[in-house]
A and B are shown apart, each in its own frame.
Chain A
């Protein structure tokens, strides 16, 4: 079974631009979560989507948004990029997002904002 895939793997943008990242979950998984990983802040939860609905949200500004499609694929968008948005963005999928569910992570998208 194929794992979680994320595209692109690397991205360079300039301040003020916007960016869209894509995540394809493991087949049969309906929950997709997004995380931001930085050396200073560690792993921080952005949001979770389940059945095309945002079910859970972390403490990030409205510039960070996402969506999920009917095939469970998810996209994350960051508008008006800031230097501090440079990070590794990780996507994780699980069957239902329930308490005992294991999340499986993709390789991440490395975003650099210049």
Chain B
């Protein structure tokens, strides 16, 4: 079963406009959710995570994410997009497997911010 899904392969937004990158999850028990960003030919950079507490999580570079338990979603948001935000974004969840726990990553969403 897919633990985390990113329904949009690509998102395009104009510079200065708000952006949203969508993520939904499906896990048993409490979800531990993460967002990462990947620039070309680079590794993944951590943006933010939800463990418990406030549903609105603030992270690096002005990004935030809203945890919605009823909709099983953890969408990444930013009030005003920058051209430099153009990158590949991954949602991830830690889940128990038969040998311990591991990260499951979504398929990624390519964000393009148009000047």
Q: Which residues of A contact B (CB under 8 A)?
A: 4, 6, 33, 35, 42-43, 45, 48, 55-58, 90, 92, 97-100, 102-108, 110
Contacts of B97 in A (CB 8 A): 56
CB distance from B21 to the nearest CB of A (A): 15
A90 contact from B43, B51, B102, Cβ within 8 A: B43
Which of the 9-residue segments B11-19, B61-69, B74-82, B103-111 touches chain A? B103-111
Q: Number of residue pairs across A and B with beta carbons under 8 Å?
A: 59
Query: Can you show 21 pairs from A to B with CB atoms below 8 A apart?
Result: A33-B102, A35-B105, A48-B100, A48-B102, A56-B97, A58-B102, A90-B43, A90-B44, A97-B100, A97-B101, A99-B94, A99-B101, A100-B32, A102-B34, A102-B46, A102-B49, A103-B46, A105-B45, A106-B43, A108-B42, A110-B41
CB distance from B67 to the nearest CB of A (A): 14
Ranked nearest first, the 7 interchain pairs of A and B with the lowest CB-CB distance are A105-B43, A43-B105, A105-B44, A56-B100, A107-B43, A100-B51, A42-B107
* Contact status B42-A103, CB under 8 Å: no
Which one of A90, A102, A108 has the greatest number of beta carbons of chain B within 10 Å?
Answer: A102
Contacts of A55 in B (CB 8 A): 99-100
Q: Give the CA-CA distance A43 to B106 in the complex, in Å.
A: 8
Any chain A CB within 8 A of the CB of B25? no
9 other A-B residue contacts (CB within 8 Å) besides A4-B43, A92-B44: A33-B102, A42-B106, A43-B105, A45-B104, A55-B99, A98-B101, A105-B36, A108-B41, A108-B42
Contacts of A108 in B (CB 8 A): 41-43
By DSSP majority rule, is chain A's interface helix, strand, loop, or mixed?
Answer: strand
Contacts of A4 in B (CB 8 A): 43
Q: Give the CA-CA distance A90 to B45 in the complex, in Å.
A: 12
